[in-house]
Amino acid sequence: MLVSSGRRVLSVTRARLLSTVAVASMEDGSLRAHVSRRGREAPALLPRYLSDARGVETFDAVSRPDGVLQLSVAENQMISDWLVPRIRSIAASPASDAHGGGAGLFEQADIFYQQTHGTPQCRAAVAAHMERVLCGGSYPIDPDKLVVGAGCNAVLENLLFALADAGEGAIVSRLLTDQLDAATPRKLWCAAMEEANAARLRSRYDRLTAVLDQGGLRYLDAGAGLFLWIDLRPFLSYGDSGPPQRENSGSWAGAVGVEEALLPAREAEAERALYLRLIHEFGLLLTPGASMRSEEPGLFRCVFSAATEEGFEVALQRFARLAAAPRAT
Q: Give the DSSP letter of residue 240.
A: G
Whole-prediction pTM = 0.68
| Residue 154 contacts residue 35 (beta carbons within 8 Å) | no
Give per-residue pLDDT as tens, 17-52: 323 333 334 444 555 667 888 888 877 777 777 777
CATH of domain 49-76+184-323: 3.90.1150.10
Contacts of 92 (CB under 8 A, 6+ apart): 100, 102, 103
Average pLDDT (242-262) is 52
Q: Count CB-CB contacts under 10 A for residue 83.
A: 16
The bridge status of strand 218-220 relative to strand 287-288 is unpaired
How high is the pLDDT of residue 65? 94
Closest-CA residue to 107 (of 117, 97, 96, 122):
122
Q: Count CB-CB contacts under 10 A for residue 17.
A: 9
Residue 8 confidence (pLDDT) above 50: no
Residue 324 confidence (pLDDT) above 90: yes
Closest-CA residue to 156 (of 287, 2, 315, 313):
2
**Which residues are paired to 58 by β-bridges?**
68
Share of the chain above pLDDT 90, in %: 32
Query: Quick one: CA torsion of 153, 154, 159, 162, rounded to 10 degrees?
Result: 120
**227/202 Cα distance (integer angstroms):** 11
Give per-residue pLDDT as tens, 65-98: 999 998 988 889 998 888 888 888 877 777 666 5
Give per-residue pLDDT as tens, 111-152: 777 777 888 888 998 888 888 888 777 888 999 988 888 778
> Could you give the 3-state DSSP secondary structure of residue 168?
coil
Residue 14 confidence (pLDDT) above 70: no
Residue 168 confidence (pLDDT) above 70: yes
How high is the pLDDT of residue 16? 32
**292/300 Cα distance (integer angstroms):** 9
* Domain ranges across the chain: 49-76+184-323, 80-111
Average pLDDT, the chain: 79
Which of the residue ranges 56-60, 150-154, 199-203, 273-277 would you say has the lowest mean pLDDT?
150-154
Share of the chain above pLDDT 70, in %: 75
**6/92 Cα distance (integer angstroms):** 35
How high is the pLDDT of residue 231? 97
> Could you give the 3-state DSSP secondary structure of residue 300?
strand
